[in-house]
Amino acid sequence: MEQSVRATRQAARPHVLIIVQNLPVPFDRRVWLECRELVSHGYEVSVICPAGPGDPVRQVIDGVHLYKYAPPPQAEGLPGYALEFVYCWLRTAILSIAVRARRPFTILQACNPPDTYWLLARLWRPAGVRFIFDHHDLNPELYLSRFGQPTGAKGKALYRGLLWLERMTFRAADRVISTNESYRRIAIERGGLAPHLVTVVRSGPDTHAMRPLRVEATGDKPHELVYLGIMGPQDGVDQLLLVMDELRRRGRRDVQATLMGFGDCLEDLRRQCTDMGLDPWVTFTGRVDRDEIATRLSAADIGLGPDLKTPLNDLSTMNKTMEYMAYGLPSVAFDLVETRVSGSDAVLYVPSGDIIAFADAVERLLDDPDLRVELGLRARHRVASELDWRPQARAYIGVYDELVGGSGTGGADDTPFTEPPAGVDKAGRPYVDLRDDAEVRHFIASRGRGALRGE
C-alpha cells in the first residue's frame, strides 16, 4: 500500500528534461539554480549535458538526475563546429530516450548555445512534451562579434543560417525565458513572439549562499585582482594581461592577478602570459569548484570585467559582475549596456579597449580604500536586494506552473531581503557578519590583511 502511494505521488510530479551543451552541470551556475528551484517546488528534474573532467556519466545530486556524455574534441573551423553540433545533438537525442525510458518527461527546456534543439523538441511534441527555450546567448550577434558584418557569399549564408536557427527555436517554443530585457526585446521583435510568451529571468546569484567568508589574515598580502569566467575569443581575458603589463610598467609590485576559468583560449593565454614575462604575477587556476571560488572572491580586492564592447557582449548579462558584487568586491569593467544594468553605481566603467583607463581605474581603487569600501558596500546591497536569485526564481517557476496548468504565480519567497546571520558554510568556514556594518567595512578594506573586528 505504502509503495503504491509513493508511486502515485511520484507519477504526479511533472518531469522536466533540461538540455545544456556548452557547460557541464552543476558547473553551469544558472542552470543549477534552476534545477534546484524546480526540485524544491515538486518537479522531477533530469539534465543532459557534456561531462566535465572526472565526471561520471550518471549521477544524482540534490535530487537532480544528471546524464552526461563525453565532450567532442575542440572544434576548429566551420567543419569542426558543424561536427561538434551534430555529435552533441545525436548524443543528446539518444540520452533523451534513456531519460524517457526511466520516466516520461512532460517539459523539455533547452539552453543555448547552440540553437539546434528546437528539432528535438518538435520530435518529442507528439508525445505531449512542451518546449521552453532558455535564451542564454545571441548566436547571430556572436558571429558578428567574432567576424564582423559578413561580406562574402559564404559569410552571408552562415549568418542567415544562424538567424534561421534562432527563428526556428523561437517558433518551436511554448515559452521563452530571457536573461535580460535586451534579449526579451529580440525575442519579441526578431523572433516575432507575443510579449506574454517571453519572461525575463535574470541570472542572479543566490546571495544567501554566495557571500564573503572570513579569510585568513596575512599582513603582507599583495593586492589581488580576480577574473572569474569562460576564456573564449569573445571574453577579452587577453585585455587583463595588457592591464597587468601596464601596471608593471608603472612600477606596481604590490599587485597580482588570479584568473579563474577555462575555455578555448586558456592555453594561448598562458603562453601569452609567459611571453610577456608576467608569470610571477598572474595565476591561471583552470576550472575551479564552488568552494575555491568562494575562497578566492573573498580574498580578492578588485574584480575584473574585460569583456569588450561587441554586438554580443553589449546586450549580454555578465554573471561575473554579479558574483563579484555578491562578495562585496569593487570592480572595474569596460562600459557595456547590460553591465551597467547589473552594476549600476557599484562598478567603475572605462571605455572599451582603453587599457590605460582600465589601469587608471584599478590604481584608483588600489590607492583609495575608502572608495573600495563604498563600492563594495553598494555592490553587496544592490545584488542582495535587487538582483538576488529569489525574485528571479519566482518568475521562473511561474513559467513552469503556467505550462502544467497551475496559476503561474510561482512559489518563491517575495518578502523584503534581509542579510542572513553570519554562521558557517558547508565546509565549516565562517562567513563575514553582513549585519555588522563595522565588520563589513573592515573586511572590504583589508580583505584578509588583518584580523576582523572582535578577533
Q: What would the grid cell of residue 277 be?
A: 614575462
**186 phi/psi in degrees, rounded to 5:** -65, -40
Q: Is 316 domain-assigned?
A: yes
Cβ(110)–Cβ(123) under 8 Å?
no
- Please list, residue by residue across 86-105, b when 16 or more beta carbons sit within 10 angstroms of its beta carbon and e when fewer do: ebbbebbbebbeebbeeeeb
Identify the burial level of 362 via C-beta atoms within 10 angstroms of its C-beta, where 0-12 means exposed, 13-18 middle and 19 or more buried: buried
Amino acid at 126: P
Convert the pLDDT of each residue in 37-71 to its tens digit. 999 999 999 999 999 888 999 999 999 999 999 99
Classified as helix, coil or strand, 167 is: helix
- Domain membership flag for residue 312: yes
**Average pLDDT, rounded, for the chain:** 91
Task: Name the CA dihedral angle for 189, 190, 192, 194, rounded to a multiple of 10 degrees.
Answer: -40
Query: What number is the average pLDDT over the span 115-126?
Result: 97
Q: Give a yes or no: residue 432 inside a domain.
A: no
142 pLDDT more than 60: yes
Distant-in-sequence, close-in-space partners of 253: CB < 8 Å, separation ≥ 6: none
Is 136 part of any domain? no
Q: Determine the pLDDT at residue 11.
A: 54
Asked if the structure places residue 110 within a domain, the reply is no
Read off the C-alpha cell for 282. Answer: 598572474
Contacts for 212 with CB less than 8 Å, ≥ 6 apart? 297, 298, 327, 328, 431, 432, 434, 443
* Separation between Cα atoms, residue 232 and residue 210, nearest integer Å: 25
Give exposure, 4-30, as e/b (b: 16+ Cβ within 10 Å). eeeeeeeeeebbbbbbbbbbbbbbbbb
> Would residue 86 count as lying in a domain?
no
- With CA atoms as reference, report the closest residue to 389 among 179, 220, 111, 103: 179
In this prediction, residue 407 carries a pLDDT of: 47
Residue 411 pLDDT class (50, 70, 90 cuts): very low
CA 168 to each of CA 119, 120, 231, 253, 315: distance values in angstroms, whole numbers, following the listed order:
8, 12, 29, 53, 21
Judge contact between 330 and 376, C-beta under 8 A: yes
In a domain, 381, yes or no: yes
Q: How far is CA 313 from CA 146, 162, 307, in A?
A: 11, 17, 7
Look at residue 352 and tell me if it is in a domain.
yes
CATH number of the domain enclosing 260 = 3.40.50.2000
Burial label for 35, CB within 10 Å (0-12, 13-18, 19+), is: buried
Q: Domain of 352?
A: 223-385
Of how many residues is the chain composed? 455
Whether the Cβ atoms of residue 203 and residue 235 lie closer than 8 Å to each other: no
* Model pLDDT for residues 6-19, shown as the tens digit of each residue: 444 455 789 999 99
Domain count, the chain: 1
> What is the model's pTM?
0.86
Determine the pLDDT at residue 216.
Answer: 77
pLDDT tens for each residue of 368-388: 999 999 999 999 999 999 999
